[in-house]
Amino acid sequence: MARRMKRKATKGRDSAQPRISDRDVRELQETLLKSVLTGEPLPGSVGSVNLPDLSFITRQPQVLLSDANISGPLKVPGLNKPLRTVSVDALRERSRTEGDLAYLQFEPPEIDDDSVRLTLAGQVASADPRRAPLGLSAVRVRFRKTGDQWEAVDGPVISAS
């Protein structure tokens, strides 16, 4: 699976400070994805994440998730339809035969000393091979670890394309 991660430079970092692991990022991606797809509130938040284009993205028999920028296989129990992780190339190929396909894709995680900022965006792979994917709405959340629990401390911020 494709994976790109941004890490901010940290001068004079305390080597005893715990690093944010790929497992942490994967679990936070699962948390955000679950909140978007099920309406479950994010940890440290009282409301659910309302992605404006979600009904368009989930109108297909499967919820499609691009494998770009994820830190391993994501699992979201309790969905009313299957979650399928697919490559960007496979999405493009499927759209040529099935027509426009809506999917979700994480942007590269932004990792700081003590926080992770995730962005999950809706996209449409066009049936027309000359067209680039169309951007839909997106949600951005910053998570910070408090004790042994991650909490949403900034967001969710919703944007529309």
pLDDT reported for residue 11 = 40
Give pTM, 2 decimals: 0.86
Please give the C-alpha separations between residue 44 and each of 27, 56, 78, 117, 152, in angstroms, as whole numbers.
15, 28, 21, 15, 5
Rounded-to-integer distance, Cα 114 and Cα 39, Å: 26
Look at residue 18 in the predicted model and tell me its pLDDT: 54
Note the pLDDT tens digit of each residue in 144-154. Answer: 998 889 999 98
Low-confidence ranges of the chain (pLDDT < 50): 1-17
CA dihedral of 111, 112, 116, 119, whole degrees rounded to 10: -60
